[in-house]
Amino acid sequence: MTISLSRPDNPIERPGPLLVVIADGFGCAPNDPSNAIAQADSPRIDALTTSKLSRELLAHGTAVGLPTNGDMGNSEVGHNALGAGRVFAQGAKLVNKAIDDRSMFDGQAWTSVIAAGSTGTLHFVGLHSDGNVHSHTDHLYAMLREAAASGVTSCAVHILHDGRDVEIRSALRYIDATEAVLAEINAAHDGANFRIGSGGGRMTITMDRYGADWPMVERGYNAHTHGIGRQFASAIEAVETMYGESDSGDQYLDEFVVVDGDGAPVGAMANGDGVVLFNFRGDRAIEISQAYDDVDFPYFDRGSNPDVNFVGLLQYDGDAFVPTNYLVEPPAIDRTVSEFLCAAGLRSFAISETQKFGHVTYFWNGNKSGYIDESLETYIEIPSDNVEFNKTPAMKLIEITEQTIDMLRSGDYDWGRLNFPNPDMVGHTGDLNATIEAIRVLEDCMDRLLEVIDELGGALVFTADHGNADIMYTEKNGVKTPLTSHTLSPVPFAIYDPTNEDTLELANIEDAGLSNVAATLVNLLGYNAPNDYDTSLLA
């Protein structure tokens, strides 16, 4: 299909630019004490999200391409839907299908890594939970059983504790479940030695993203590959010991290695071994994939660096071909809204800090790195601080806001998009008071942006990619348990357009979701939306 847009007879016009604000993790939930958004004093946002040009949008489950409506949305699939204008089958759904129809196990990548594991050890590395945001233990168990059935006798699992997309301290439950599967396999297959080799918290080792903290990846690589880390007789002993030493949630636990009676690591890698990264989401899988896959790897010294056969569950970056070999094809997202708007010659910017920069660029652009048209686009990344985000709940919102204001006032852009990350990143810490403060800072920044929109005669769209800060804890029998995961809540959508507010109306679309936003943006910029895009939210 041709990438072009047509103009209606009476296009929507205004003197100034259009700004799209994505408040990451800003969900719509009942006003109760666990809702950091409701507890924060935010009159400007409240007025925006209760205006006549506001509504709620679905941001989870099948509305964003996930298998069921019990699956929480996440930043990856949320930004895919916002930028694509259509719903594409996403990570977990693709993997489920590939397991069910056995296409995963019939492919060359699986055959190759099984061959490596059959002569040495097969290793599985990944987030160890059923949170279904980055990974799912059902996928791990299916591959473990298939590997054993295919003749692999030596297998080491390297687990990354979650405590973020699932309960804050649930690692022991997942270890018990995995140990049961490993015991089942060892009992059913002569000579099988399937075991847990190493682990640590997802925010301490391995799962960095966007180059924010390479030492974190190095710690994970050394634990999984070389068996470097605090030694324990079992994963259960490691977690129980660390629980007794601090109040940290699972995601912040230090790295560990499991050793035998002689103190030797049971999961260290050797030349010729096979390695499978069983995460399906891309952002926190790219860097560890590079550490195993890149011949000329510049970010840290990999030591002896055994020559392993590495595969990812998916290819996490299709433009950079990371990793080279993978088990399941990722969704092919084409004809994104930015491609159409570039084809129309509209000038744009995208801005966030490191933690969410890839979301308003890579994921928004359909899992593609780099510019669509560098002559028309400007991408701004503000470096994130390597801290626990409840310690700095403002994160880089002020810097993002100031640079956005400069770009809006420059007159160089027709539209722009930004991601405010702190409702999500601070929300993930489970710290209610810090998250309330994060929303207060967001309110201040929104107030400044709306003033500039008024000044320039522009328009602003306010939305989010999924919920998080809207439910900060659960309560049972008077006991409050921090909720660090995303939520199933819908998200707000609101248009602020003083020039056209008297003529604009929202359509009555049942079950509208994030994929309806792209067509709306095209309309607000004065064009007819592509025919195959999900319906515009404008009447």
Question: Domain coordinates of the chain in residue numbers?
Answer: 20-89+333-489+501-524, 92-328
Condensed to tens digits (0 to 9), the pLDDT of residues 82-99 reads 999 999 988 899 999 999
Q: Where are the beta strands (DSSP E) in 24-153?
A: 54-57, 122-127
97 and 67 in contact (C-beta within 8 Å)? no
Question: Domain spanning 20-89+333-489+501-524: which superfamily?
Answer: Alkaline Phosphatase, subunit A (3.40.720.10)
Band the pLDDT of 319: cuts 50, 70, 90.
low
The reported pLDDT for the residue numbered 49 is: 98
Condensed to tens digits (0 to 9), the pLDDT of residues 41-97 reads 999 999 999 999 999 999 999 999 988 888 889 898 999 999 999 999 888 999 999
| pLDDT more than 70, % of the chain | 99
Who's near 531: CB < 8 A, 6+ residues apart? none
pTM of the model: 0.79
**Of 421, 434, 510, whose CA–CA distance to 466 is shortest?**
421
The reported pLDDT for the residue numbered 66 is: 87
Q: In what order do the strands lie in the sheet with 18-23?
A: 54-57, 491-496, 459-463, 18-23, 415-420, 348-353, 377-382
Report CA dihedral (286, 288, 330, 492) to the nearest 10 degrees.
Answer: -60
Band the pLDDT of 332: cuts 50, 70, 90.
confident
Domains 20-89+333-489+501-524 and 92-328 share a fold: no
The reported pLDDT for the residue numbered 27 is: 98
**Spelled out in words, what is the top-level CATH class assigned to the domain 92-328?**
alpha beta
The reported pLDDT for the residue numbered 320 is: 75
DSSP state of 534: P
Please check the confidence at residue 318 and state whether its pLDDT lies above 70.
no
The reported pLDDT for the residue numbered 252 is: 97
The catalytic residues are 75
Please check the confidence at residue 2 and state whether its pLDDT lies above 90.
no
| pLDDT more than 90, % of the chain | 91
